[in-house]
């Protein structure tokens, strides 16, 4: 158990809908990362938050948004969903130091299926 | 551009044998970190081993070791005494930091299958 909690584990929805994925980082971790894993794109970095502030942005679509709350949990909002958004969405957390050896701890992911 | 390349889509190994999973990377940063993660069929990403760019010795964690060849920009994962439970996807990753980014970038992965 990595200590990172993601809910829900599975989500099935229709095109055009909006969903929210939730992540609780490990206790003490200030950084939260969101990744998307799909068969054709592999593991893609979406966005990172550190202590409530957006710190880095990757290949995140404008239809997607995220935030990190004062209690450090994070939510990833996906709107106007398309079939191609079907993927496994991971949240990861880390302490948030500047060290290159700081590893990320991953949650078990949310499997999103858009029908 | 910073990039991780894993050229082996799939590998087979017999139980109790050793196997090497290849990883090459590209970066112009002098300071970087290299990671290996395992993803079993259940889906979670499990950290295995880390190697820093300034580390003089190859990293080891139990049956996992990292064959780090800096001049060749390679960071191959060696699994000794393979077990059936080692069957999984394996991802090589690199820590990328700059003034506006902080992330792990991943290779495409290698699917390892261990057979009896």
Taking only the tens place, the pLDDT of each residue in B40-93 is 999 999 999 999 999 989 999 999 999 999 999 999 999 999 999 999 999 999
How many contacts (CB atoms, under 8 Å) link A and B?
63
Give the residue from B45, B98, B52, B50 showing the smallest Cα distance to A58. Answer: B98
CA distance A19 to chain B (A): 21
pLDDT given at position A35: 96
pLDDT given at position B45: 94
B31, two tokens:
């300071």
pLDDT given at position B31: 85
pLDDT given at position B28: 87
Rounded to whole angstroms, the Cα distance separating B72 from B32 reads 15
Angle at alpha carbon of residue A33, lines to B28 and B34, rounded to 5°: 35
Rounded to whole angstroms, the Cα distance separating A65 from A88 reads 16
Mean pLDDT for chain B?
94
Mean pLDDT along residues A2-15: 96
What length is written for chain B? 116
pLDDT given at position A39: 86
| pLDDT band for position B103 (cuts 50, 70, 90) | confident
- Mapped onto helix, strand or coil, the DSSP state of residue A85 is helix
Mean pLDDT for chain A?
94
Mean pLDDT along residues A24-31: 95
CA distance B69 to chain A (A): 18
Q: How many other CB atoms are there within 10 angstroms of residue A38's CB atom?
A: 15
Please compute, for residue B10, the number of CA atoms within 13 A of its CA located in the half-sphere on the CB side. Answer: 3
- Per the CB < 8 Å rule, is B43 touching A45? no
- Per the CB < 8 Å rule, is B35 touching A103? yes
Q: Cα-Cα-Cα-Cα dihedral of B25, B26, B27, B31, to 10°?
A: 20
Residue among B37, B43, B50 whose CB faces A101 most closely: B50
Instruction: Read off φ and ψ for residue B64, nearest 5 degrees.
Output: -100, 135
Report in angstroms the alpha-carbon separations of B14 from A4, A18, B76, B83, B113: 33, 46, 19, 8, 8
pLDDT given at position A29: 95
Looking at chain A, which residue has its C-alpha nearest residue B35? A103
Residue among A43, A48, A88 whose CB faces B102 most closely: A48
Mean pLDDT along residues A23-43: 93
Burial class (CB in 10 A: 0-12, 13-18, 19+), A25: buried
Any chain B CB within 8 A of the CB of A102? yes
Q: Is the pLDDT of residue A33 over 80?
A: yes
């Amino acid at each position: 158990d990595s200590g990172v909690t993601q809910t829900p584990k599975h989500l099935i929805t229709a095109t055009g809908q909006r969903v929210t994925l939730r992540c609780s980082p490990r206790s003490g971790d200030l950084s939260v990362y969101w990744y998307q894993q799909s068969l054709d794109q592999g593991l893609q970095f979406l966005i990172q938050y550190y202590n409530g502030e957006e710190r880095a942005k990757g290949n995140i679509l404008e239809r997607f948004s995220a935030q990190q709350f004062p209690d450090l949990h994070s939510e990833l909002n996906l709107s106007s969903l398309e079939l191609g958004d079907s993927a496994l969405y991971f949240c990861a957390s880390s302490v948030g130091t500047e060290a290159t050896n700081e590893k990320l701890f991953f949650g078990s992911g949310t499997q999103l299926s858009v029908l | 551009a910073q990039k991780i390349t894993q050229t082996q889509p799939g590998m087979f190994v017999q139980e109790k044998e050793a196997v090497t999973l290849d990883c090459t990377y590209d970066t112009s940063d002098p300071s970087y970190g290299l990671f290996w993660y395992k993803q079993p069929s259940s889906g979670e990403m499990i950290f295995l081993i880390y190697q820093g760019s300034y580390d003089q010795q190859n990293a080891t964690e139990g049956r996992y070791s990292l064959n780090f060849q800096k001049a060749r920009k390679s960071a191959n994962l060696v699994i000794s005494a393979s077990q059936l439970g080692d069957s999984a996807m394996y991802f090589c990753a690199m820590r990328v930091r700059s003034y506006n980014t902080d992330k792990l970038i991943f290779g495409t992965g290698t699917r390892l299958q261990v057979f009896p």
